[in-house]
Structure 1
Amino acid sequence: MKKDLILSKQLALLEKQEQKFLNQTESPFIKSNFTPMANKIQAKIPDKLHSTLDAAFYVGFHLVFEKGSSLIEKTYNKEKIDVTYDLNNYAIEKYMTKKHLKTLDKSSKHSKTINESIAAIEGGVLGLLGIGLPDIPLFLGVIVKTINEIALSYGFQYNTDEEKAYLLYLICAAMSKEDQRQAYDLKTERLGQDIDAHTPTNIDLDAFMKETSDLLSNTLLTAKFIQGLPLVGVIGGVINPVMINKIGKYARIKYKKRYLLSKIQTFTVNQP
């Protein structure tokens, strides 16, 4: 009973964090000072560039999923993360204390911080050189790397189409505007439940990539346009670590939630 109580309290705290993330609104300062300027810039961006950006994200996801997986895994020690998870998970199952649950979070927090730094360097340097569109596969690689490391930290592998689709919905939910965020969170939640319950799913990964590409394109159109301008592009490059922070924060919430729910289910089933 004590284990169930600890898990339930942890889940309740996590769901409060989840709702806080989902209900966040744009600050009045940004809304009054930056949003009007961004809207003016966006209105001047040619439709052709919009289509080009859509295609760049779509091709970027294909490159990352089809050819970049092995390269991405070379940027972190997958075996070490797996072993660390196994040790932490064993301690949680045996002792079930808040301390052990916090230890489980350390690995995911560390990877998010490191990848924010990588994104800042990548975005800033390419922005300084006036390179906007060519950096998209690199940037998507950092996003996928961040989510992969977080997934492993909570015991989830990411090689199936179902988990790749889940990853894409994580990105959509984290980066969507206020009116879309709740809907994408619900889609993410349902897909995660289906995966963990081993419910058969009919995943069209190509459609998921297209949907995510369109959303990212709309979200980042102005930033990537600015990043394509020499010197001024540094401003656009600043958006990269901000995105990594936001996506990483949301991914940590959702993977930890899946982990806690699976533990609650296991302890409930095994109770005499």
Structure 2
Amino acid sequence: MTQTESRNELLTHLEEIRKWEEDQKGLWFWERISRLPFKILDRLTPQLIHKKIGQALDEIGSYLQTGGKYLVSEKSITKRYEKKLNIEGIDLADIAKQPIAVMDEISDNIIASRAKIAMTQGATTGIGGLFTLTIDIPLILGLSLKTLQEIALTYGFDPNDKRERVFIIKCLQFASSDIVGKKAIIEELATYDEPNENVNRKMISQVQGWREVMVSYRDNFGWKKLLQMVPIAGILFGSFVNKSMIEDIGEAGKMLYKKRRILQKLENSTPQK
């Protein structure tokens, strides 16, 4: 069973997203110095731990090419829809036809659930200070990728498609970017679904250097993780920071995927006279 929404309702949703995009232009002072903490950490961290972080980033890089061990199954999302709509046998095509309000509700539930996991994870890895911090970094990156994939599925997009994995990396990059980076990414993604081979090729080539994206991501949340270096006290900071990070990443993924789905729905709808 597929419910429909009017063109005016879709335009209202789209206007809410545009307001959100405007809000992203606000730049906190500490975002300007977000790279400094990790420059300090680079000097303090033993080479062995640097190597482990590099290995974790290499594993995540395989996600872009094949999905690797980070690729999620769409079953967990289809089951959420089946429970919500009280019907069986839903697939990704059916999900894409559902109302935006239903997609939003399921997406919000996913973000809340993943934020709780991140909070527990941050508290656990905050016990040992610097050394467990290096464990937390690849874990939070992996959870971020999983969350964004689930959000993609919630709005009817398939992470098995490499183009969607490129989009997910862009969502991840957006969540940790400063005002200049956010503006650039919004402009890049504005034409993501247009049948322009050159644009798509350019987008894919930009993230071929995925390691730079990940290192940038690591650097940008460095200041948030700095206090987690303190043993025991890191439990509190790690818990709070991880939760807020997944919430921020989830919000970015939700809004960017929601915008794509609304634009596709509008394209397929009949303008009201």
TM-score w.r.t. structure 1 length? Answer: 0.75
Q: Label 1:138 to 1:254 Cα distance change in 2 as closer, same or farther (>3 A).
A: same
Structure 1 gaps of 5+ residues are: 93-100
Q: Which has the higher helix share?
A: 1
Q: Deviations over 1:114-133 (max 9, x none)?
A: 00110111111011133011
Larger displacement relative to structure 2 (76-85 or 148-157): 76-85
Whether the 8 Å contact between 1:112 and 1:245 is mirrored in structure 2 is yes
For the residue of structure 2 that corresponds to 1:132, the secondary structure is helix
- Partner of 1:183 in structure 2? 184
Q: Deviations over 1:210-238 (max 9, x none)?
A: 13212112112344454344223322453
| Distance in 1 of aligned mates of 2:16 and 2:37 | 40
**Are residues 1:45 and 2:48 paired?**
no
- Partner of 1:232 in structure 2? 233
Q: Paired residue for 1:11, among 10, 14, 20?
A: 14
Matched residue type, 2:169: L
| Distance in 1 of aligned mates of 2:166 and 2:35 | 31
Alignment of 1:1-272 (within 5 A): 3-20=6-23, 22-26=24-28, 44-47=40-43, 49=45, 52=50, 55=54, 58-62=57-61, 66-70=67-71, 72-73=72-73, 77-81=76-80, 83=90, 90=97, 92=99, 101-130=100-129, 131-190=132-191, 192-194=192-194, 197=195, 199=197, 201-202=200-201, 203-204=204-205, 207-224=208-225, 226-234=227-235, 235-268=237-270
Matched residue type, 2:175: A
What is the alpha-carbon root mean square deviation over aligned residues? 3.6
4+ long deviations beyond 6 Å = none
Over the matched positions of the two proteins, sequence identity in percent amounts to: 21
| Distance in 2 of aligned mates of 1:43 and 1:88 | 44
| Distance in 2 of aligned mates of 1:223 and 1:13 | 28
For the residue of structure 2 that corresponds to 1:230, the secondary structure is coil
Q: Displacement, 1:157?
A: 0.7
For the residue of structure 1 that corresponds to 2:126, the secondary structure is helix
Matched residue type, 1:129: G
Structure 2 gaps of 5+ residues are: 82-89
The count of residues paired between Structure 1 and Structure 2 equals: 250
| Distance in 2 of aligned mates of 1:85 and 1:108 | 15
Matched residue type, 2:106: S
Q: Deviations over 1:152-206 (max 9, x none)?
A: 111111112211111111111111112322112222333x334xx3746332486
Q: Label 1:26 to 1:248 Cα distance change in 2 as closer, same or farther (>3 A).
A: same
TM-score w.r.t. structure 2 length? Answer: 0.75
Q: Label 1:84 to 1:121 Cα distance change in 2 as closer, same or farther (>3 A).
A: farther
Q: Label 1:163 to 1:267 Cα distance change in 2 as closer, same or farther (>3 A).
A: same
